[in-house]
Amino acid sequence: MNAITQDVSASTHPGSRLASLNQWVAEVAALTRPDRVHWCDGSDAENAELVRQMEADGTMVKLNEQTHPGSWLHRSDPDDVARVEHLTFVCTSEREDAGPNNHWMAPAEAHAKMDALFDGCMQGRTLYVVPYCMGPIDSPLSRCGVEITDSPYVVANMRIMTRMGAPALARIEREGERGGAFVKGLHSIGELDPDRRFIMHFPEELAIKSYGSGYGGNALLGKKCHALRIASHQARSEGWLAEHMLILGLQDPQGETHYIAAAFPSACGKTNLAMLIPPEGYLKDGWKISTIGDDICWMRPGKDGRLYAINPEAGFFGVAPGTSAKSNPNALASIRRNTIFTNVGVTGDNQPWWEGLGEGEPAIDWRGEPYDADKRPAAHPNARFTVSAKQCPSWSPEAENPEGVPISAIVFGGRRASLVPLVFEARDWTHGVLVGAAMGSETTAAATGAVGVMRRDPMAMKPFCGYNFADYFNHWLSFDNGGNKLPKIFHVNWFRKGDDGKFLWPGFGDNLRVLEWMIQRVKGTVGAKETPVGLLPDPADLDLDGVELDQEARAKLFGFDREGWQAEFEGIGEYLDGFGPRMPQALKDEQQRIAARLDQGA
């Protein structure tokens, strides 16, 4: 492929100065026995050659060059289309350190199981060494890793999603010479056999082993595996936070920008909020939204005590179905060129297509068969696009700021058809951590067969926290140490429904009206109504110009249901108790204090 592609007998990088990296690559090559070893430099020429090879073997299909220049379609195995949480393990020395929120396996057992799978698995294939940096290449907040993989599709995606190649290798070498560590990720698609598929995390070793899947988060090890599961463990030991959050900038007509980090479970509009386009009246007044990131946020206290955040990713790995000119015009504009699509359908003239797109007609489905609506959807419900963040019209150059951006507000939110109002503010940091710990969404009949079943997803980290949730909550609480100037914490619910089952709040761009109130609260320029569960806005303090809300909508979006909250806090107490003796007493005390106020009518 180029000067640093070698046969397996010369697996070390000819220019690498880091002995530990060379030794690890040589050990993996000896175990997996590839035909060739290629050290990725991230260059355009390298990528073009990888794409040429994948086009030749049918791994990727070129899309319409006139409508989607530089874009490709990848179809994964039909049994390999999503994360596999039941096969994802956190392997710590002590089982309790992984917590009840993770599947656990003893490290020695996990290594033995994985090494048996990796034995000889790359025969006839190329072993790719992928050095990458999560975050701006020169940022002290960034962390590096190396993924070894036998999938050129993974290499092409990691080039988009991370800062991958020669600059990352140079940083790894510099840090390694000073004793710094990098995350070691070993991946093979194996035979794509669901019965021989595991994703193992070794947080104490800063290591990941993934076998048997070529899909997204199972294979792009810089994403959920490194940036959340390993990084959350690393962040705890180093005094920062690795979170499943978007980061957006909100600029007012006076030119002042506030940055907001927000955590939402799946299907709650995280990407839509990150790329929000203000309502027409706000646009005319000069309001602007800028996108720093849509999925992951790393935060640490700065010298001034404020939390500063970076987006460790360089691209978007977004869900395609439902993305349209109406739901997210910025996302749609982002993926008009230089995009890798996975498991979408295609039109007769070879354009990508998915349900909810609102334009064109599918001809071929995601399995490569003629589209038949009675057989399957054109696009898999978890179909994805991979694209550089810089192609988003709302992308901000501040995403490359090595110092990060200062966070004014942290927002938690879930999908709640009842009880939870449009927005409320936590009273203080401890209350805010409880709000995040207790957040969740109500399921629908289509998903579970029962309406309104509560599934709690603390900080939207249920599938991604790399250690015991009780310890994680305690780590959050530790930031309230008297020296930090912490952001205010809010909770939102865009999904409150009326008696007719319809949404009461219009959502999308109108969510900016709620963000504006939050920033006014941060600045201290607007009041709030105190309730036992938090501080609620007076509807008169939100700019609702152009939003029609009837009496029921106002009552439910801005109201407080004491009896409903009494039942809610009883459930929260039981939930916290489920994490056992490690649960911070401060959170239990906060839950009991609020429950008592609810019972007393205070």
Please indicate if the annotation marks 384 as binding a ligand: yes
Q: How far apart are CA 321 and CA 44, in angstroms?
A: 30
Mean pLDDT of 383-391: 97
Instruction: Quote the DSSP letter at residue 486.
Output: P
- Domain residue ranges of the chain, discontinuous segments joined by +: 5-60+85-239, 243-314+397-600, 315-391
What mean pLDDT do residues 377-401 have? Answer: 97
Mean pLDDT (the chain, rounded): 95
Q: Which of 585, 364, 324 minimizes the C-alpha distance to 473?
A: 585
Q: pLDDT tens-digit profile of 556-590? A: 999 999 999 999 999 999 999 999 999 999 999 99
What pLDDT sits at residue 447?
41
Q: Is the pLDDT of residue 10 over 60?
A: no
Mean pLDDT of 369-390: 97
Confidence of residue 9 (pLDDT cuts 50, 70, 90): low
Q: Are the C-beta atoms of 407 and 307 separated by less than 8 Å?
A: yes
Which DSSP string corresponds to 193-209? -GGG-EEEEEGGGTEEE
Q: What is the mean pLDDT of residues 50-58?
A: 97
**Of 73-77, 204-208, 351-355, 453-457, minimum mean pLDDT range:** 453-457
Question: Matching CATH topology for 243-314+397-600 and 315-391?
Answer: no
Q: Per the annotation, does 540 bind a ligand?
A: no
Is 593 annotated to bind ligand?
A: no
What's the pLDDT score for residue 247?
A: 98
Question: Percent of the chain, pLDDT > 90?
Answer: 92
Poorest-confidence range of 92-106, 147-161, 263-277?
A: 263-277
Q: Is 509 annotated as a binding residue?
A: yes
Q: Let me know the angle formed at the C-alpha of 28 by 23 and 34, rounded to the nearest 5 degrees.
A: 125
Contact present, 33 and 8 (Cβ < 8 Å): yes
In 3D space, the residue among 60, 17, 61, 16 whose CA is nearest the CA of residue 37 turns out to be: 16
Whole-structure pTM over 0.85, yes or no? yes
Q: Does 500 appear as a known binding residue?
A: no
What is the pLDDT, as a whole number, of residue 446? 38
5-60+85-239: CATH architecture: 3-Layer(aba) Sandwich (3.40)
pLDDT surpassing 90 at residue 14: no
Asked if residue 438 belongs to a known ligand binding site, the reply is: no
| Pairing between β-strand 198-202 and β-strand 88-90 as defined by DSSP bridges | parallel
380 marked among binding-site residues:
no
The answer to whether 272 is a known ligand-binding residue is yes
580 assigned binding-site residue? no
Q: Is residue 217 a known part of a binding site?
A: yes
Q: Is CATH 2.130.10.10 what the domain over 315-391 is classified as, yes or no?
A: no
Domain 243-314+397-600 class, CATH top level: alpha beta
Q: Are strands 207-211 and 183-188 parallel, antiparallel or unpaired?
A: parallel
- Find the length of the chain: 602
| Torsion angle defined by CA atoms of residues 351, 355, 357 and 360, in that order, rounded to the nearest 10 degrees | 50
Q: Give the separation between CA 416 and CA 246, rounded to whole angstroms.
A: 20
Q: What are phi and psi of 345, to 5 degrees?
A: -85, 175
pLDDT in tens, 495-519: 999 999 999 999 999 999 999 999 9
pLDDT tens for each residue of 344-374: 999 999 999 999 999 999 999 999 999 999 9
pLDDT > 50? residue 445: no
Catalytic residues: 268
What secondary structure, in 3-state letters, does 121-173 show? CCCCCEEEEEEEEECCCCCCCCEEEEEEECCHHHHHHHHHHCEECHHHHHHHH
- On whether 101 is known to bind a ligand per the annotation, the reply is no
Q: What is the pLDDT of residues 245-299, one digit of tens each?
A: 999 999 999 999 999 999 998 778 899 999 999 999 999 999 999 999 999 999 9
> Using 50, 70 and 90 to split pLDDT, how confident is the model at 92?
very high
Q: Is residue 82 annotated as involved in ligand binding?
A: no
| 244 annotated among ligand-binding-site residues | yes
How far are the Cα atoms of 19, 153, 323, 344, 523 from residue 76, in angstroms, in the given order? Answer: 36, 10, 20, 10, 49
At residue 219, the 3 state secondary structure works out as helix
The mean per-residue pLDDT over the stretch 86-99 comes to 97
Note the pLDDT of residue 443: 63
Please give the average per-residue pLDDT across 84-94, as a whole number. Answer: 95
pLDDT greater than 50 at residue 87:
yes
17 marked ligand binding residue: no
Residue 105, pLDDT > 80, answer yes
Nearest CA to 517 among 508, 532, 505, 527? Answer: 527
Partner residues linked to 38 by β-bridges: 5, 128
Confidence label for 545 from pLDDT (cuts 50, 70 and 90): very high
Q: What is the widest separation between alpha-carbon atoms in the chain?
A: 75
Question: What is the model's pLDDT at position 601?
Answer: 80
With a cut of 50, say whether residue 56 has pLDDT above it: yes
Residue 441: band (very low, low, confident or very high) from pLDDT cuts 50, 70, 90: confident
Cβ proximity of 243 and 293 under 8 Å: no
Q: Quote the crossing angle between the two packed helices 19-32 and 107-118, to the nearest 10°.
A: 60
Ranges of H-type helices in 453-544: 469-477, 512-523
